[in-house]
Amino acid sequence: MLVYALPATYAKDHMDDSARLVFAAIIGTMVLLVLIGTMGVLLVVNANRRHRHSAQMADLQLQREQEVRRAEREATQHTLKEVARDLHDNVAQILTVAQLGLNHLLVEDGTNARIIDARDSVDRGVEEVRRLGHDLNSDLWQDRTLVEAIRLEAERIERVARVRTRVDIAPGLPELPTDSRTILFRVFQEVVNNALKHSGADSMTITFATTPAYTLSISDNGCGFNCSGANGHGGLVNIHKRCDLIGFSASCVTAPGKGCTWNLQQQPTDHGRA
């Protein structure tokens, strides 16, 4: 029997090829494992990011809803306080006149002119009470449009505070969601209340505009103030915070002796807002 021996170089080359194949298989497996691990890490990171974003959005929505409820309570309290002041300053005086006139019924003839005056005063008093009662019921104002609520508030300011008011409304004004109306109306009340308390204004202009975006402006001809020195004031901070919750910005243009204008402007929608 003949036995042929393989050349030593051939055997060596065959072993080198096998080692290279094994090494390549090991490297490929390691690379594959690294890729799988990287994809797993990326999926976990992305899921965590989505969870954090969802939690942040839920927290923002909760803050927004809490602020809406707080604004509703404050708006109601403000309305009740103003109605009480109205009753005291207007209705009480009218009914006092009526009472004085009616006292003369005990001693005078029913055709006396003072009795007629008393009757007219009572009639006016009844009308005033009815009007105020209507305001209390319908100051579920969030069921109204924002324009209607602010127009009625402007009429009350003119009647009670003796401040001339004008409301200008751009055509084609869109209606805002209920929560936005609620907070904007409360911000409007805060701005107006500050003006009535501190500015000494006798004239006020309220403007609804649609360009460059939905904008509510409140201007007065009062004494103005140094805006940079009042940036930390709680009321001003609250105005900015509430506007931001509904996607609006609040800017104030004022200077000592120059009056004051607040612009509440809707900002472009982005993914960061609810």
Average pLDDT over all residues of the chain: 79
Residue 168's domain spans which residues?
163-274
Query: 75 in a domain, yes or no?
Result: no
Query: 102 in a domain, yes or no?
Result: no
Query: How does residue 269 score in pLDDT terms, banded at 50, 70 and 90?
Result: confident
Report the distance separating Cα 166 and Cα 59, nearest Å. 39
Six-digit token pair at 125?
Answer: 């008093």
Six-digit token pair at 136?
Answer: 């209390």
Helix residue spans in 87-169 (DSSP H): 92-103, 113-138, 146-160
Residue 223 pLDDT: 93
- Digit-coded pLDDT (tens) for 28-66: 888 888 888 888 888 888 888 888 888 888 888 878 887
Query: 46 in a domain, yes or no?
Result: no
Q: Which is more confident, 243 or 83?
A: 243
pTM of the predicted model as reported, rounded to 2 decimal places: 0.56
Query: 133 in a domain, yes or no?
Result: no
Query: 27 in a domain, yes or no?
Result: no
- Digit-coded pLDDT (tens) for 149-162: 899 889 888 887 88
Going by C-alpha positions, the residue among 245, 266, 244, 262 that lies closest to residue 253 is 262
9: pLDDT strictly greater than 70: no
Report the distance separating Cα 183 and Cα 48, nearest Å. 33
The mean pLDDT value for 238-262 works out to 93
| CATH number for 222 | 3.30.565.10
Query: 36 in a domain, yes or no?
Result: no
203: pLDDT strictly greater than 70: yes
Query: 54 in a domain, yes or no?
Result: no
The domain tally of the chain equals: 1
Query: 178 in a domain, yes or no?
Result: yes
Q: Which is more confident, 152 or 233?
A: 152
